């Protein structure tokens, strides 16, 4: 059995000085158009209680191009400018549906530098990609092949904080959904990144800790530089490169891990962790952020959907660590420093392995009975809101795990 999905293939490329200048100018125009359209929509609602549609902002863009002050908008491709208006419309749609906060202005220093091109604004022939307003194709490093006969529908060009250039091609890809027989419960942690119900513990690589000394030196060097100077810009770039190296290693490890879990198991049960709340613990925030549990869950969700796997998310209030996986007895207290404990039934448990097994048992009961599961998060891109339920025990204010 196979399934066709939309899949983005990301590659690094090295632009010529002329291409880099054109792209930087495009990024600036995209940010400017987005901010101007957001300001116009905000003022229309604040002053006149009027909702401005995408079509209206598109008309505004045409008028802006005809003015003397904004005539430079004609120097870049019009497609990325139209696409940023569509992104703004999607942001407002998510805000009205209460899936996101009110859209904010794009910052020159902090916002992601990117531009999106549709089929009318690029040409892809025999492995050569040429963007609108450019005469030469991009020098792309094809680190992996595109699917056979792939025809990109969207191309997104971006530059990260470390100065690296990337191009992402959105193509149709055929996913072969081979059946799997395994079922597994997964408990996330810090000493072990993941503990499986099979008893296997996956070591936490602690990517940030490996580069902490280099990051500290780079940040101290940055702090000594005068604001606005060229040396400060160079020092900032060094800090960004260390962060990029950490993020790349973390992403690569999570991709390999989630792909393995999806290929080996038909049913995967995880716990619904509130990472946003957990990082408020200043003693553990750095380690929790480095573990990237949220990124792990996101990858697992879309890969399970691709390969036809069943992903069950157990409620965050389920006492997985305190519940005996042998007899079902609930321990009264379970401080974090307790890594193993003995139940009154005589069974001795490793805390993490026991939690993974009770999570798996709860997930299987959810599949059988359809009760106790926390709903999946809404997908902001598809626009389908999720039905929120109050978790059991939420009135108590603290989790029982």
DSSP β-ladder status, 348-350 and 165-176: unpaired
335 exposed, middle or buried (CB, 10 Å; 0-12, 13-18, 19+)?
exposed
**What positions carry a catalytic annotation?**
187, 271, 352
Assess contact for 167 and 155: CB atoms under 8 A: yes
**φ/ψ of residue 112, rounded to 5:** -70, 135
Distance CA 75, CA 78 (A): 9
List Cβ neighbours of 142 (8 Å cut-off, separation of 6 or more): 11, 127
User: What are the angstrom distances between the C-alpha of 54 and each of 14, 115, 153?
Assistant: 34, 18, 21
Pairing assessment for the beta strands 265-271 and 182-188 based on DSSP bridges: parallel
The residues, ordered by sequence, that sit 6+ positions from 315 with a Cβ below 8 Å of its Cβ are 272, 372, 373, 374, 391, 392
Domain positions in the chain: 2-176, 182-204+246-396
Tokens of 248: 């790349």
Could you list the pLDDT tens digit for every one of the 401 residues in the chain?
888 999 999 999 999 999 999 999 999 999 999 999 999 999 999 999 999 999 999 999 999 999 999 999 999 999 999 999 999 999 999 999 999 999 999 999 899 999 999 999 999 998 899 999 999 999 999 999 998 888 999 999 999 999 999 999 999 999 988 888 899 999 999 989 999 999 999 999 999 999 999 999 999 999 999 999 999 999 999 999 999 999 999 999 999 999 999 999 999 999 998 888 899 888 889 999 999 999 999 999 999 999 999 999 998 888 888 888 888 888 878 777 888 888 878 788 888 899 899 999 999 888 887 654 444 444 544 444 443 333 333 333 333 33
Please, are residues 156 and 114 in contact by the beta-carbon 8 Å criterion?
A: yes
Find how far residue 100's CA is from the centre of its chain: 15
What's the pTM value of the predicted model, to 2 decimals? 0.84
**Distance (Å, whole) CA 195 – CA 43:** 52
Provide the CATH topology of domain 182-204+246-396. Answer: Nucleotidyltransferase; domain 5 (3.30.420)
C-beta atoms surrounding 203 within 10 Å? 9
């Amino acid at each position: 059995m196979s399934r066709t999905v939309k899949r983005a293939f990301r590659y690094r490329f090295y632009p010529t000085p002329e291409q880099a200048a054109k792209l930087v100018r495009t990024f600036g125009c995209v940010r400017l158009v987005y901010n101007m359209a957001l300001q116009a929509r905000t003022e229309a609602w604040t002053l006149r209680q009027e909702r401005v549609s995408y079509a209206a902002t598109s008309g505004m863009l045409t008028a802006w191009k005809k003015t003397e002050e904004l005539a430079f908008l004609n120097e870049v491709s019009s497609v990325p400018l139209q696409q940023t208006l569509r992104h703004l419309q999607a942001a407002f749609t998510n805000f009205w549906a209460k899936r996101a906060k009110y859209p904010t202005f794009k910052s020159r220093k902090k916002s992601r530098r990117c531009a999106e091109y549709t089929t009318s604004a690029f040409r892809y022939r025999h492995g050569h990609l040429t963007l609108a307003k450019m005469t030469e194709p991009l020098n792309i490093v094809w680190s992996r092949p595109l699917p056979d006969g792939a025809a990109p529908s969207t191309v997104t060009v971006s530059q990260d904080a470390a100065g690296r250039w990337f191009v992402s091609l959105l193509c149709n890809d055929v996913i072969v959904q081979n059946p799997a027989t395994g079922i597994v419960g997964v408990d996330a942690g810090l000493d072990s990144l993941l503990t499986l119900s099979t008893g296997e513990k996956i070591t936490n690589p602690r990517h940030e800790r490996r580069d902490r000394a280099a990051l500290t030196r780079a940040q101290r060097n940055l702090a000594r530089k005068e604001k606005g100077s060229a040396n400060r810009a160079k020092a900032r770039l060094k800090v960004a490169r260390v962060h990029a190296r950490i993020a790349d290693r973390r992403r690569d490890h999570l991709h390999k891990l989630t792909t393995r879990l999806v290929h080996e198991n038909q049913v995967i049960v995880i716990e619904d962790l509130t990472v946003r709340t957990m990082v408020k613990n200043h003693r553990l925030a750095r380690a929790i952020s480095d573990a990237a549990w949220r990124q792990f869950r996101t990858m697992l969700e879309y890969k399970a959907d691709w390969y036809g796997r069943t992903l069950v998310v157990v409620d965050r209030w389920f006492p997985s660590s305190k519940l005996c996986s042998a007899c079902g007895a609930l321990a009264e207290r379970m401080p974090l420093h307790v890594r193993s404990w003995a139940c009154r039934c005589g069974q001795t448990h490793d805390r993490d392995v026991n939690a993974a097994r009770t999570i798996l048992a709860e997930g299987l009961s959810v599949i059988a009975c359809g009760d106790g599961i926390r709903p999946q998060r809404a997908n902001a891109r598809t626009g389908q809101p999720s039905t929120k339920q109050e978790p059991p025990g939420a009135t108590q204010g603290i989790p029982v795990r």
